[in-house]
């Protein structure tokens, strides 16, 4: 098998009654091992979807069904290790975010080892998203693929439609379990096994057919009266206490501040309830966060030991952040919104692209490995790098930029929604492509302006200066 490229991400899931506007939301930071790994935003039309699929990493071959659906995708620009589409929304407004690398333990791997020639992060969106018509169907299709082909890594995968949000976690080489997230709940899922208490008899759970028997036959359950999948299949390691658990803690602290937990706690809850309705801006803030207003903030006033103790959510290895929103109070033609930003999340803003299109804007589509400030990926990465050199110096520029940018994007979206509701045009996709181009141009202009303001202001603060009345 080709050397596996490892990533590490953070996911946030929001049920329709937990969101501010009745939308379902699945979102994730697509983090990688390297600081830079250029990505693109594209649409895969049915004629572009492969019929005979072969993975680059594992070499697995999968024959795919006829009549695939169109879908948005965020693939790598450099295809040495395969396509790696991070997430997308298909033409029936079904969303998928894959994947959140998770953890396991040797008891499981001794019984159901990973499969070197199986499927993995490189493959999942391509193999599943074009063929599903509901979130639950996404779980079922992926589950059947895992059982047939196996996997070479542990992952968590999110699916949503306008009514439901589902979360699936792989277990060993061939097993899996999934939970429907309650409508009034949210989830913060870092790189660990996240599902805790699991009811095999519930209509809101699915699993590989033999999973309960697998647990009982092999004495895997450390608890007496409950099936806690994190206890059974997870890691609960020292690394989790500094790398994973604190991210769940901070997100839960933000959405549910009245509930106090320790950031290292191995038993932070999976299903949570916020003290308010959750907005897109809330989700973006948490996915960009670095323990603000705590002693663990890397840009804060804590000791060096405190500031470097925990792995932040927003990190230099953010390659993209996507927030996949399926709206319920608009026509189906404009229900799917693929919010997107590239680069480290500290100095970017998400843009609400309509998913019902056949093409995407050039500034988001044409990224390659050549540095180019006309591409949003490279522009966002440059702004983040400069901002990191003196966060306190530049953060007000960032705050003003994000407030004004999000207001502008929402105005374009609002006007487009109103126009679509009024018109009877049959060429809605072309209209939405024009709206997406307008959003992309506005985003590029605003991000460029932010970078320029930071360069102009920061130049006066350079250490390489000397004044003698000149």
Res. 6 pLDDT band, cuts 50 70 90 = low
Q: Averaged over 281-288, what is the pLDDT?
A: 98
- Whether the per-residue pLDDT at 302 is higher than 60: the answer is yes
Task: Quote the CA–CA distance of 228 and 219 in Å, as a whole number.
Answer: 13
The percent of residues in the chain predicted with pLDDT above 70, rounded, is 97
40-64 tens-digit pLDDT: 999 999 999 999 999 999 999 999 9
DSSP state, 51? S
| 165-171: strand order across its sheet | 87-89, 95-101, 155-160, 165-171, 175-180, 205-207
399-423 tens-digit pLDDT: 999 999 999 999 999 999 999 988 7
pLDDT at residue number 65: 96
Q: How many CB atoms lie within 10 A of CB 275?
A: 9
Q: Averaged over 16-29, what is the pLDDT?
A: 98
Res. 2 pLDDT band, cuts 50 70 90 = low
| Catalytic sites, residue numbers | 9
Q: Which of 116, 108, 135, 1 is nearest to 56 (CA)?
A: 1
Q: Averaged over 110-130, what is the pLDDT?
A: 97
- When mean pLDDT is compared across 26-35, 104-113, 138-147, 439-448, the lowest value belongs to 26-35
Task: Quote the CA–CA distance of 361 and 42 in Å, as a whole number.
Answer: 8
Res. 34 pLDDT band, cuts 50 70 90 = confident
- Whether the per-residue pLDDT at 4 is higher than 60: the answer is no
**Between 460 and 1, the higher pLDDT residue:** 460
Res. 8 pLDDT band, cuts 50 70 90 = confident
Long-range contacts of 430-438 (CB under 8 A, 24+ apart): 432/333, 432/334, 432/354, 432/356, 432/357, 433/357, 433/358, 433/359, 435/354, 436/353, 436/354, 436/357, 436/360, 436/361, 437/361, 438/412
pLDDT at residue number 467: 78
pLDDT at residue number 435: 97
Q: How many CB atoms lie within 10 A of CB 442?
A: 16
- Whether the per-residue pLDDT at 13 is higher than 90: the answer is yes
383-394 tens-digit pLDDT: 999 999 999 999
Bridge-based pairing state of the strands 186-189 and 318-326: unpaired
76-101 tens-digit pLDDT: 999 988 999 999 999 999 999 998 99
pLDDT at residue number 145: 98
pLDDT at residue number 7: 59
């Amino acid at each position: 098998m080709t050397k596996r490229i490892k990533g590490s991400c953070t996911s946030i899931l929001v049920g329709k009654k937990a969101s501010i506007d009745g939308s379902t939301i699945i979102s994730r930071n697509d983090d990688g091992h390297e600081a830079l790994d250029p990505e693109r935003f594209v649409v895969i039309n049915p004629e572009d979807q492969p019929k005979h699929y072969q993975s680059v990493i594992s070499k697995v071959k999968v024959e795919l069904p006829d009549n695939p659906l169109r879908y948005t995708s965020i693939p790598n620009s450099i295809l040495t290790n395969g396509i790696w589409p991070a997430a997308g929304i298909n033409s029936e407004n079904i969303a998928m975010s894959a994947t959140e690398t998770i953890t396991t333990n040797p008891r499981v791997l001794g019984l159901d080892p990973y499969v070197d020639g199986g499927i993995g992060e490189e493959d999942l969106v391509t193999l599943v998203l074009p063929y599903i018509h509901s979130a639950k169907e996404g779980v079922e299709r992926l589950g059947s693929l895992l059982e047939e082909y196996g996997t070479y890594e542990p992952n968590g995968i999110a699916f949503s439609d306008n009514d439901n949000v589902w979360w699936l976690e792989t277990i060993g080489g061939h097993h899996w379990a999934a939970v429907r997230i309650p409508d009034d709940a949210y989830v913060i899922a870092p790189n660990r096994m996240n599902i805790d208490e699991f009811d095999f008899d519930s209509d809101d759970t699915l699993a590989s057919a033999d999973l309960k028997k697998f647990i009982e036959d092999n004495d895997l359950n450390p608890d007496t009266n409950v099936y806690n999948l994190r206890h059974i299949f997870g890691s609960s390691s020292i690394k989790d206490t500094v790398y994973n658990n604190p991210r769940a803690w901070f997100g839960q602290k933000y959405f549910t501040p009245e509930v106090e937990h320790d950031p290292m706690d191995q038993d932070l809850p999976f299903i949570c309830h916020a003290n308010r309705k959750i907005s897109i801006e809330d989700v973006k803030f948490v996915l960009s966060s670095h323990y603000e207003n705590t002693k663990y903030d890397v840009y804060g006033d804590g000791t060096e030991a405190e500031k470097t103790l925990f792995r932040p959510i927003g990190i230099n290895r953010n390659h993209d952040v996507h927030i996949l929103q399926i709206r319920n109070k608009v026509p189906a033609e404009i229900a799917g919104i693929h919010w997107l930003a590239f680069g480290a999340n500290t100095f970017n803003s998400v843009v609400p692209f309509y998913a019902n299109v056949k093409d995407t804007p050039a500034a988001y589509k044409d990224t390659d490995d050549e540095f180019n400030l006309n591409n949003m990926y490279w522009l966002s990465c440059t702004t983040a790098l400069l901002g990191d050199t003196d966060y306190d110096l530049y953060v007000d520029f960032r705050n003003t930029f994000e407030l004004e940018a999000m207001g502008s994007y929402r105005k374009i979206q609002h006007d487009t929604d109103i126009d679509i509701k009024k018109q009877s045009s049959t060429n809605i996709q072309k209209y939405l492509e024009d709206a997406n181009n307008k959003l992309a141009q506005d985003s590029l202009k605003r991000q460029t302006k932010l970078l320029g303001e930071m360069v102009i202001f920061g130049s006066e603060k350079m250490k390489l200066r000397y004044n003698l009345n000149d």
